[in-house]
Structure 1
Amino acid sequence: MYYPFFVAYILTGLFIGVAVFVWALKTGQFSDQQRARFLAMEEDTTPAAATSAKAGRDLYCVFYLALAAIGASFALVGYALFFR
């Protein structure tokens, strides 16, 4: 009785994941594997002030996306429970 809602939820997540993967392939995110293996050993040359400001924006963006995902989950469960 709840299965169509959860199947739709899973298919939406799968579609978004595939779309992001296709975007990464088209923009060349995986093209330079030889460079990628040494990125962890590279020296960071960016100033600390620029890094911290960007990190703050990124943190707010990730927090907003996580909050939106949790809200969508609650909305789906609420819809499944109250409108069956």
Structure 2
Amino acid sequence: RALSALAAHLGGLARLPGHGGALARRWLTQPHLPAKGNLLTQLGGVDELLIPGERAPMIRVPNPLPALAHAGVLSDVA
């Protein structure tokens, strides 16, 4: 139910012009989302502090929201 509520809220935001609406649409349609990979990098033996440039390790995680759009929950999202 929480994902459905999030998807419905993002569906409303997706109608907004500009970057905010574009971000909401991206979250509703992209098959994967970027996330900071702290736990996975630690489990893989990578020390975040030793990464060149000291940038946070990013991973891609499956996005559950597009499945809700295909189920008709978000039929009015552009």
TM-score, structure 1 length as denominator? 0.23
Considering Cα pairs closer than 8 Å and 6+ residues apart, tell me whether 1 or 2 has the greater RCO. 1
Higher strand share: 2
Structure number with larger C-alpha Rg: 1
TM-score, structure 2 length as denominator? 0.25
Higher helix share: 1
